[in-house]
Chain A
Amino acid sequence: MRIKLKFEENEKKFIDRVNELSGENVYSCYQCGNCSSGCPFVFEMDILPNQIIRLVQMGREEELIGSKALFLCASCFTCQSRCPKGINIANVAEAVRHLIEPKGKDYFGPQEIPAELADELPQQALVAVYRKFSK
């Protein structure tokens, strides 16, 4: 069996950009899974928080595109408070979202809000969701 030990140029670039944008070092993760066992939204996720980190470590950008899990992060920082390596996983998820989002297109923009909800929504929810999921 052949094991690839060297990253392709674009894979290396992706990992470096995630580390640079997030200010974290994804290589320090040793896949203990504490983040995934604490995350309150894993029940809805296609890949788990530790798998997001693993895919970044391997430079697998294309496998992260379209992942629902990246958009289920509520930035509650439960993962960060439990990570034995001190990685802020929410920062990594935000960096990945930034890099893979289709350019100029919102994941969740104002057009997604149903008119009947517009009156009752607290301002901070609108500001927060656009900050997170739109350009």
Chain B
Amino acid sequence: MGNKKTKLHYYPGCTLKEKTTNLDDTTYAVMDLLGYELIEPENWTCCGAEFPLTEEKIVGLAAPVRILRQVKLEGGNKVFTVCSFCFNVLKRANEAMVTDPLKHKRINAFLKDDITIDRVTGDKTTGFPEYNGDVSVLHLLEFIRDEVGYEKIRALIKRDLGKVKVVPYYGCRLLRPKGKIGIDKPDDPSIFEEFLENIGCEVIDFPFKQECCGSYLSLSMPDAASEASYNVLRSAKLNGADVLALSCPLCYYNLDRRQDRIKEKFPEFHEMPVLFFTQLLAWALGVDEEILGLDQHFCDPRSVLGIDKSGVEI
């Protein structure tokens, strides 16, 4: 060890610093083991969670473009995320800056007059350069496949996950809209399966891997969202899975933290552990249990990882 680490921009997003610190902590832990030093863009803000779908809401692009411009100003040419929502918004905002001259013009005109104030010296900076979409936005699954390589991951495995039957859950934001995301084929993806196989899981296929879990409707239409989440978890269980793996903090909220409300609506529902893909990777790479933040889960996933209730590995 003691090797110099490669610096890499990482955009965590707001939920990871508050409600799903387990996803943030395990990302830092695994990237450290893979030889990367993560840099968060200075003064990052929320990405806006939703890519604006109508011309009228174009100002929603200001936040993601500002984040990307900051990465570029810090000398970065790529940024990765683990949250599917952030990935989707940043990737699409970046693409809009390349392919849509009107959006490029309007957003750059809006952001040109940004003022930043140095916290120490009080110096003001203004007159920012145009952002032209030249930072590549990657999801960690994509970064591992294309830049780290599965071979390197396999060589670093410390714990055997062989007995764990996992279903990969893509949800919507990792794959769609079709033609805009490009992490994998939206109708027949395999990147998550390959990742799980390479970290030593037994992968189980199931028909709901690309279905929506209910997303933000769990706030505005909770009953409809519960039904959508129930369908996903039920299908995973029927197909023989021990655990469902995902990458989105909102899917995690709907599929794990709301299991009590799913049970209220569907009394025959069986609890099902849910883990972030970074938690599975961290465990396989030998990261300590407390970093995994398993106490934050509604449905305890310890038995899946072969840990008994007192925290001892079985």
Q: Which chain A residues have a beta carbon within 8 Å of chain B's beta carbons?
A: 20-23, 40-41, 43-44, 71-72, 74-78, 80-81, 88, 90-91, 94-95, 98, 107-108, 112-113, 117, 120-129, 131-133
Contact = CB atoms under 8 A, between A and B. Distances in A.
B48 A88 contact: no
Contacts of A21: 54-56
Contacts of A128: 49-50, 85, 215-216, 250
Contacts of B178: 77, 80-81
A98 B15 contact: no
A107 B218 CA distance: 15
A133 B231 CA distance: 25
26 contacts: A23-B54, A44-B221, A44-B227, A76-B176, A77-B176, A77-B178, A81-B177, A91-B53, A108-B220, A112-B220, A117-B219, A120-B253, A121-B19, A122-B15, A122-B18, A122-B249, A123-B14, A123-B46, A124-B86, A125-B216, A125-B253, A127-B14, A127-B46, A128-B216, A131-B50, A131-B60
B98 interface: no
Contacts of A95: 53-54, 56
Interface in B215-229: 215-221, 223-224, 227-228
- What is the predominant secondary structure among interface residues of chain A facing chain B? helix
B12 to A, nearest CB: 11
B297 interface: no
Contacts of A44: 221, 223-224, 227
Contacts of B221: 44, 71-72
A120 B249 CA distance: 12
Given A76-B211, A122-B20, 9 more contacts: A40-B231, A41-B217, A44-B221, A78-B172, A80-B177, A98-B54, A122-B249, A127-B48, A131-B60
Most chain B beta carbons < 10 A, residue from A20, A22, A23, A76: A76
Q: Which of B49, B60, B171 neighbours the largest number of chain A CB atoms within 10 Å of its CB?
A: B49
Most buried by A among B20, B55, B223, B249: B55
Q: Which 3 A-B pairs have the closest CB atoms?
A: A77-B176, A76-B212, A76-B172
A131 B46 CA distance: 13
Contacts of B50: 75, 127-128, 131-132
A128 B186 CA distance: 22
B220 A22 contact: no
Interface in B1-54: 13-15, 18-20, 46, 48-50, 52-54
B78 interface: no
Contacts of B86: 124
Nearest to A22: B54
Contacts of B52: 131
Interface of B is mostly: loop
A49 B27 CA distance: 38
B83 interface: yes
A76 B173 CA distance: 7
B19 A120 contact: yes
B55 A129 contact: no
Interface string B200-215: 0000000000111011
A72 B227 CA distance: 13
A117 B19 CA distance: 13
Contacts of B53: 22, 75, 88, 90-91, 94-95
A46 B210 CA distance: 24
Nearest to B252: A122
B268 interface: no
Contacts of B250: 122, 124-125, 128
A88 B54 CA distance: 11
B220 A122 contact: no
Contacts of B214: 74
Nearest to A96: B54
A75 to B, nearest CB: 7
B47 to A, nearest CB: 9
Contacts of B20: 122
Contacts of B216: 74, 125, 128-129, 132
